[in-house]
Amino acid sequence: MFYAERIKAILEEKLPECTAIVIDDVGDHEHFTARVVSSAFDGKSLVAQHQLVYGALGDHMKSDIHALALKTFKPSDWTGE
């Protein structure tokens, strides 16, 4: 089983100045929602931001995570929602 806390830890370790909020949507350890704030997103398109997140999660996106609803934010755009 894969846990939201593990996704959070991976993202916060691999992305600079990262804060991640990850929720296991249905409690099945496969479907997650994540809000990710990182300075790595500055100057990047939304697609590039998402690619950074997927890259940080690596093979977990192929094996452990079935679905990830993702919202990314630059620190200057984060309102704490």
pLDDT tens digit at each of 81 positions of the chain = 789 999 999 999 999 999 999 999 999 999 999 999 999 999 999 999 999 999 999 999 999 999 999 999 999 999 886
Residue 8 and residue 30: Cα distance in Å, rounded? 14
Kindly list the structural domains of the chain, giving each domain's residue range(s) and its CATH number in brackets, ordered by start.
4-72 (3.30.300.90)
Residue 1: per-residue pLDDT: 73
The answer to whether the beta carbons of residues 54 and 15 sit under 8 Å apart is no
Residue 22: per-residue pLDDT: 97
Residue 80: per-residue pLDDT: 81
Residue 10 and residue 52: Cα distance in Å, rounded? 12
